[in-house]
Structure 1
Amino acid sequence: MQQLDFQQLAQALGDGIVVCDAAGTIVFWNAAATRIFGFTEDDAVGQSLDLIIPERQQGRHWDGYHKTMATGETRYGSDVLRVPALHKEGKPLSIAFTVALLHAPDGKVAAIAAVVRDDTARWTEERALRSRLRELEAVPTR
């Protein structure tokens, strides 16, 4: 079998792929990430992840990011993380993703790759169902 071309694979996937260096600067952004977040590759590459992280989530995000970079450990390699995010137009998103730690030759974490899906429709539906359930539970029974 022919050796796969990473660029071709990454651009063909339906999931967003976002890769950031140790400082949290975006170094790779595929076409699906553009579809999800609205930012083009040119908009995103070279920018901080703050581009897509709601302001109120940034402190918590960076605490976890820096801890992962320092320890080389994350539970989100197999566990799916669901968090709020921002679209280029400012509209809120809900995303689901896993990460892969990319190591330098010295063994230190050099970058983090995230495989991202837009989870907004599912999150909105679940929120509406929870709201409806609360309404039904609040109705007195006879």
Structure 2
Amino acid sequence: MNIPSGLGEALLHSASDAIIATDRDGRITFWNPGAERIFGFTAAEATGQSLDLIIPENLRARHWAGFRHTMETGTSRYGHGDLLSVPGLTKDGRRISVEFTIVLLRDEAQEVAGTVAVMRDVTKRFAEVRELKRRLAGTGSQS
């Protein structure tokens, strides 16, 4: 397969989707312009920080249990194109809805070295679907 020159750089530095890489301890090692746009933290503010930066406090224990399991086993339920929908936390403290997939990063010995997540802000769509469901539920109860 012939990959066009510059394709990787263009994707990594895109401002549409967030691309966030971590080491195996969950420290952010890469933060693209899309992550900056979605979460509000600059790359300088985010790089080196724990993923707790963007995980709502009440979800951190569950996140870290899954993260540690993935690091130990080298498998993830969300690594094969499956989308995971979760709340995220922005710099100004707002909760947003994000969908993402992850890819495991491996070292030369094929041991898990970290992750890359590709994330999209779906807050608006999530709110629209919730409102539509609310309206439909209201309509159905009047019959």
Give, in whole Å, the separation in 2 of the partners of 1:4 and 1:75.
Answer: 31
Aligned-residue Cα RMSD (Å) equals: 1.5
Q: Identity of paired residues, percent?
A: 45
Q: Any residues of structure 2 matched to 1:70-109 within 5 Å, and which?
A: 70-77=72-79, 78-109=81-112
Q: Secondary structure at the match of 2:82?
A: coil
Partner of 1:50: 52
Give, in whole Å, the separation in 1 of the partners of 2:105 and 2:70.
Answer: 11
Q: 1:134 Cα shift?
A: 2.1
Partner of 1:14: 16
- TM-score normalised according to structure 2 size: 0.91
Q: 1:9 Cα shift?
A: 3.2
Partner of 1:124: 127
Q: 1:135 Cα shift?
A: 1.7
Change (3 A) 1:2 1:118: closer
Q: Secondary structure at the match of 2:113?
A: strand
Change (3 A) 1:125 1:5: closer
Q: 1:137 Cα shift?
A: 2.5
Q: 1:49 Cα shift?
A: 0.3
The correspondence for 1:114, drawn from 93, 113, 117, is: 117
- TM-score normalised according to structure 1 size: 0.92
Give, in whole Å, the separation in 2 of the partners of 1:9 and 1:118.
Answer: 17
Aligned length: 140
Contact persistence 2:13–2:33 (CA under 8 A): yes
Greater shift after overlay, 130-139 or 2-11? 2-11
Structure 1 stretches of 5 or more lacking a match? Answer: none
Partner of 2:139: 136
Give, in whole Å, the separation in 1 of the partners of 2:8 and 2:89.
Answer: 27
